[in-house]
Amino acid sequence: LSCRGKDSQGEEVIKPYTPTTLDSDVGSFELVIKMYPQGRMSHHFREMRVGESLAVKGPKGRFRYQPGQVRAFGMLAGGSGITPMFQVARAILENPKDQTKVHLIYANVTHDDILLKEELEGLASRYPDSFKIYYVLNQPPEVWNGGVGFVSKEMIQTHLPAPAADIQILRCGPPPMNKAMAAHLEAIGYTPEMQFQF
């Protein structure tokens, strides 16, 4: 969805967000919004009060999911890039007829930056055979059993399904991460048809 608002200078700003709710959640939708101190749209959301309206346009997007379209998805998410992954994972996991497996690598700077952590853990505990998460932190806490640094080629090979005609890798993160992941995936042998970037 595209949301329209005004930044701190009164200039119009339009920014896309992926709802975390599903098409089957009728009557309302939820957005996860990361507030940045200098963020133009963040300013608009900070100024909003309960009961006010927001200009929204959509839905839009190039990704259409059909149950069973692949055997497994590998997901590479960075920061707020988790939102489309969460929506797709929910659509798969909450459909009892869908046997698709989901493998997620989710990268952030610190532990506090992990968005939707409770919801992701809930999916992992409810669907342990279908949903696996591997967290990667640039600045991990002292006690940490996930990945450290940036997502590496080795992490992808260990935690995502290997290249095959019936798997697809979904990517969503900041531009430098997307670029690095594209290079890793190509080096491992994932073809362009096996990849989709939100």
pLDDT tens by residue, 152-187? 999 999 999 999 999 999 999 999 999 999 999 999
CB-based burial, 156-188: b 16+ in 10 Å, e otherwise: beebbbebeeebbbbbbbeeebbebbbebbeee
Q: Are 155 and 147 in contact (CB under 8 A)?
A: yes
Binding site feature residues: 16-17, 32, 34, 41-42, 83
Task: Give the Cα separation of 173 and 24 in Å (integer).
Answer: 26
Q: Which residue has the higher pLDDT, 58 or 104?
A: 104
> Alpha carbon of 165 to those of 69, 113, 194: distances in Å?
11, 34, 7
pTM attached to this predicted model: 0.84
> Which residue bears the tokens 């080096």?
187
- What is the model's pLDDT at position 41? 87
- What is the model's pLDDT at position 63? 82
Binding site feature residues for FAD: 16-17, 32, 34, 41-42, 83
Residue 130's pLDDT band, with cuts at 50, 70 and 90, is: very high
* Percent above pLDDT 90 for the chain: 68
- Going 65 to 67 to 71 to 77, the CA torsion angle's sign is positive
- Going 82 to 153 to 169 to 102, the CA torsion angle's sign is negative
Each residue's pLDDT tens digit, 74-115: 999 999 899 999 999 999 999 999 999 999 999 999 999 999
- What is the model's pLDDT at position 39? 86
